[in-house]
Each structure stands twice: as structure tokens, then as C-alpha cells.
Amino acid sequence: MSARVIWVTGGRGFAGRYLCRELVSRGYETVVIDRSNDPDDQGTRSRHLELSDVAAIHSALIEDSPESIVHLAAQSSGAASFVDPGLTLRNNLDITLGILQALRELGDDAPRLLSAGSCEEYGPPAEGDLPLQESQPLRPSNPYAVSKAAQTLLCQQYRRAHGLRILCTRSFTHTGPGQRPDFVWSSFASQVAELERRGGGTLRVGNLDVSRDLSDVRDIARAYADLLDVEWPHDVVNLCSGREVILREALGWMLDAATCDIDVQVDPARLRPVDVHRFVGDPARLREMIGWVPSMPIATTLHELLEDWRLRFRDQNAAADPR
């Protein structure tokens, strides 16, 4: 019996790498659809496709016959979206539309599509809105959030109008080893590790008096994989833990683990034009669908993230000094 084929767009990205490892461990033939030319190190197969090219996607889908597509590819930085909103909007919508059009052409033979959206689609909630449920009105507060809200709405429209099998997630904040330093949790960890090398100094931050619903990226990857094995009675589901982590407290955990004295200073350049002070999701629908919610202890995740940055810097030092 041949292995079930799953496409993962953005499979060389942060969450994508973890998801691919999870799928391979479950016996899926995992095909990475990515613009990156990074070598495969996870037992996957790669396809380098331009996702806005409907004809190319259509042809590749016929050749591979995937059971499902997990669509993670995106410009995913809210901060970067303020710098170039047009690029974020064009990229995130064009690649989603390309996939949807190719699926529409396949009709009844089209694979299922799991489209990864973002909790930022909800925008700033009122206190009475928390925890956020999938029926909550959307008030996106940055261009990235607008692009993901539009992606979700576009997928829902294609589900209704063309009968495609599509589930959209609103994935809440997740972190772990391997994350880029332009995301807040990894920024904290990379700065602490760098300052340890220098023997101390100043760590620069944005607004620390905010809370986020935070999960370990490995839990999120397992949730994506679990969703591929169940029916999709809903068109959207929160991927969240239901627990709030205050940035100031999380940074405190890292500072407590630091091996040197570190001062903390607010950097105006790291403050967003619009910020959300409290953000926590309701995982009830996720629990209904797959029977569990992400549960890895966040203190453990953050300590592993810090150790990952320590190892990265040690590897850099070793490469610079080959003696």
C-alpha cells in the first residue's frame, strides 16, 4: 500500500520544518512546496513551484495526487508588513489564490486544503471578547493581519461557492528552537545569548506589558497533523492553548537563566503603531475536533529556545576559529 501524500507549502519555514518532521514520523510521503533551495534533511521530497502559477500547480497536483495540502507559505512578520504592506498583501493573497484556482480546476478530485491563518485576524479584542472564539468579528490591525483575514475569507468563499474541502486555522503565537530573531520570543533569547558572550549589557525590547496565547511550535505541528486525520465540520478553527503568557514574565524566565547581568531597555523602534494588550483564544472547537490542545510547558519551551541560541553562537564561534 502506497504512503499517503501530503503537500506542505512553506515547508522549509519555521513551523513547516516541524510539521514535515511530524508527518514523516507518521508515515506520510511529505512533499515540500517552497521557493527555498535549502537541502532536504527530513526525509521529504521537494517541489519548487511558484504558487501563483495556476497551471504549474494544477500539473503538479495531477502528478503527485496529494491527499491534502497544508498551506503555511506566507510573509509572516507583522512588523515587516508595516515596512512593505503591498508586498505582504500581494504575496499572501496571490499564492493562496493560485492554489485555490488549481483546486477548483480539479473539481471532485481536488485534495483537501488546510490553510494556516493567524490569530492577528481578530485584531484588538475588548475584555468581554476574551477568550476569542471563531465567530468573533475580525478587526485586523496591521497589513499582515489584513492579508491573513483576506486569505481566510477567500478560502471560505471558495469552500462555499465551489464545494472545495477547506479548513482555515487561526493559529495563535508559537515559538521554539529554530525561530528567526525578528519574532519577539526568539529576539529575547538571541539577545540574552549574545549578551552572555559579551559578559553583560542591555537587552532592547518593545512593549512588555502585553499577554499572548503562546504554544510550543511542536504542539502546533502535531495539531496540524492531527487535523489531517479528522473530518472538518467547521470552516475555521483556533489553534491555541487557551493560556496567557505575559511578555514581561516570559522575559524574566530567560533573564533568570542568564549567566550574566543584563539590563532591559525599551527601544522605541520595537514598538508597534497599534498593539494588542491581551490576547487569548478559546480552544473548545480544536478540542472537539482532535481531542486535545497544545500543552507543552512554556517555561520549558523558552529555556530550550535560549539554549538553541547559545548553541548557534557556539557553532558560529567554532566556524570562525577552526583551530
pLDDT band for position 170 (50/70/90)? very high
Distance of alpha carbon 270 from alpha carbon 274, whole angstroms: 12
Residue 317 has pLDDT above 80, yes or no: no
End-to-end Cα, the chain, rounded Å: 51
Q: Which residue has the cell 519555514?
A: 13
What cell numbers appear for 68 in the block?
Answer: 491534502
Distance of alpha carbon 247 from alpha carbon 70, whole angstroms: 30
pLDDT band for position 296 (50/70/90)? confident
Q: Which residues contact 119 (CB under 8 A, 6 or more apart)?
A: 132, 170, 171, 172, 173, 213, 238, 240, 279, 281
Contact 230, 292 (CB under 8 A): no
Residue 25 has pLDDT above 70, yes or no: yes
pLDDT at 151: 97
Q: Which has the closest alpha carbon to 132: 151, 119, 150, 145?
A: 119
CA angle 167, 212, 307 (to 5 degrees): 100
Cα-flanking dihedrals φ and ψ of residue 10, to 5°?
70, 30
DSSP label of 276: -
* pLDDT digit string, tens, across residues 226-246: 999 999 999 999 999 999 999
Q: Which strand (E) or helix (H) includes residue 204?
A: strand 201-205
pLDDT at 322: 58
Distance of alpha carbon 91 from alpha carbon 94, whole angstroms: 5
Percent over 90 (pLDDT), the chain: 82
What cell numbers appear for 5 in the block?
Answer: 501524500
Contact 209, 103 (CB under 8 A): no
Contact 154, 97 (CB under 8 A): yes
pLDDT at 69: 98
Tell me the one-letter amino acid at 211: S
Domains within the chain, CATH numbers bracketed:
5-175+216-239 (3.40.50.720), 184-211+243-279+296-320 (3.90.25.10)
Residue 222 has pLDDT above 60, yes or no: yes
Distance of alpha carbon 25 from alpha carbon 42, whole angstroms: 10
Contact 78, 21 (CB under 8 A): no
How many CB atoms lie under 10 A from the CB of residue 118?
A: 24
* pLDDT digit string, tens, across residues 72-128: 999 888 778 888 999 999 999 999 999 999 999 999 999 999 999 999 999 999 888
